[in-house]
Amino acid sequence: MLIAAELTANAVRHGHVPGRDFHLRLHAPAGGRCVRVEVTDTRAERLPVRPAAPDAERPQESGRGLLLVSELAARWDWHPRRDGPGKTVWAEYALGER
């Protein structure tokens, strides 16, 4: 699942604090039509930014993770981590839509 891979890669690259872990949670309710991916890290000062359309004249090799997530997910957002410093970035993918 590309959404989980992108959110996890962002947590490792941008949310990592030495000596602390990040957490990945996948939730798919029985009989549900949606999968929710949550990635929690411990870096509070690096918050996700809504992606802008890429510049076709200046292609980049990185920096498109949240753009992919916003295109593939039914919805996504983030909230402060409930039990300490950091944040949780989540995305929901509607099953059977793509």
What distance in Å separates the CA atoms of residue 48 and residue 14, rounded to the nearest whole number?
9
Task: Provide the token pair at 98.
Answer: 């793509």
Contact 36, 69 (CB under 8 A): no
* Cα angle: 75, vertex 91, 18; to 5 degrees: 145
| pLDDT (tens place) for every residue of the chain, 98 residues total | 789 999 999 898 888 788 888 999 999 988 888 999 999 999 888 888 777 665 556 655 555 678 889 999 999 999 999 888 899 999 999 887 55
Task: Provide the token pair at 65.
Answer: 């993770």
What distance in Å separates the CA atoms of residue 1 and residue 83, rounded to the nearest whole number?
27
